[in-house]
Amino acid sequence: MAFIDWYMQGVEYVNCNCEWGCPCQFNALPSHGHCRALTFVQVERGRYGDVPLDGLRWGILAAWPGPIHFGGGKLQAIVDERADAAQRNALEAVAHGRDTEPGSLIWQIFSTTVTSFLPTLARPIQLDIDIDARTASIFIPGVLQGSVAPIRNARTGAAQRARVTLPAGFEYTEAEFASGRAIADGAVPLEFTDTHAHLAQVHWTTHGVVR
C-alpha cells in the first residue's frame, strides 16, 4: 500500500483516568477496567506530503468501554482552528491513523480499536507544556480544560520525579510521568482528578517513532 509520507516533531501532553503510572505502559489492564484519555500535541516541525504543519496544535479525546485492546472505542479529533483546510485534513489523517505503517505508531494502533470516529472539531487550542517542570495546561473553549503538575509526596508535599523509558515503544521513547486534572463536557465526557499524566518529546513518521 502506498502512503503519503509525513513526519511530526513536537511535545505531547497525555492525561487518562488510570492511577499514576498507568498500567497500560506496562502491558497491564487499566486501573478501573476501562480507559478514558486525552492527548494533545504542539507540533514544532512537521509536514504531511506537501502540507506544512509547523506550529499547529491538535489532539484527541477518547473512551473505551474496557481495556483499549478489547476495542469498541470512541474518538474525537480536535484540530487547531488556525489550520487551513489542507492542514486540518492532514492532522485528522494522523489522528485517525491513516497513512501509517500498521503496528508502528500509537495512532494507527488506536484506529484498529475505535468503532466510532466522531466529527473532527476545529477550535482554538491554548496549550502550554514544560516537560522538565512536569507542568502543562490546556484550554479549548466549550470543550476541555486541564492541567498537569508534578506528582507530590503525600506526607511532605515535595515534588517527586518519575521517568519511564520505552526503547521500542510505539508512542514515545522517554516520558516524564506526572499528575493530571481535566474536565470535558462534549461528545466524549471526561473528568480526571489527580490521575496519570505524561509529557514527552515525540518524533513520528509514516513508519513509526524516530529514536
Question: pLDDT by residue (tens digit) across 113-152?
Answer: 999 999 999 999 999 999 999 999 999 999 999 999 999 9
With respect to residue 202, please indicate whether it lies within any of the assigned structural domains: yes
Asked whether the beta carbons of 33 and 4 are under 8 A apart, the reply is no
With respect to residue 89, please indicate whether it lies within any of the assigned structural domains: yes
With respect to residue 132, please indicate whether it lies within any of the assigned structural domains: no
With respect to residue 102, please indicate whether it lies within any of the assigned structural domains: yes
pLDDT of residue 89: 98
With respect to residue 199, please indicate whether it lies within any of the assigned structural domains: yes
Model confidence band, residue 26 (pLDDT cutoffs 50, 70, 90): very high
Into how many domains does the chain fold?
Answer: 1
DSSP one-letter string for the chain? -----EEEEEEEEEEESSPTT-GGGGT---TTSSEEEEEEEEEEEEEETTEE-TT-EEEEEEEESS-GGG--EEEEEEEETTS-HHHHHHHHHHHTTTTS-TTSSHHHHHHTTEEEEEEEEEE--EEEEETTTTEEEEEETTTEEEEEE-EE-TTT--EE-EEEE-TT-SS-SEEEEEEEEEEE-SSS-EEEEEEEEEEEEEEEETTEE--
The set of cell numbers assigned to 159 is 515534588
CA distance 98 to 89: 11
Q: How long is the chain? A: 211
With respect to residue 58, please indicate whether it lies within any of the assigned structural domains: yes
With respect to residue 133, please indicate whether it lies within any of the assigned structural domains: no
Question: pLDDT by residue (tens digit) across 159-188?
Answer: 999 999 999 999 999 999 999 999 999 999
Alpha-carbon dihedral sign for residues 74, 174, 138, 59:
negative
With respect to residue 187, please indicate whether it lies within any of the assigned structural domains: yes
Q: Output the average pLDDT for the chain.
A: 97
Domain span holding position 108: 6-126+138-209
pTM score: 0.97
Specify whether the backbone of 40 is left (phi greater than 0), alpha (psi in -120 to 50) or beta.
beta
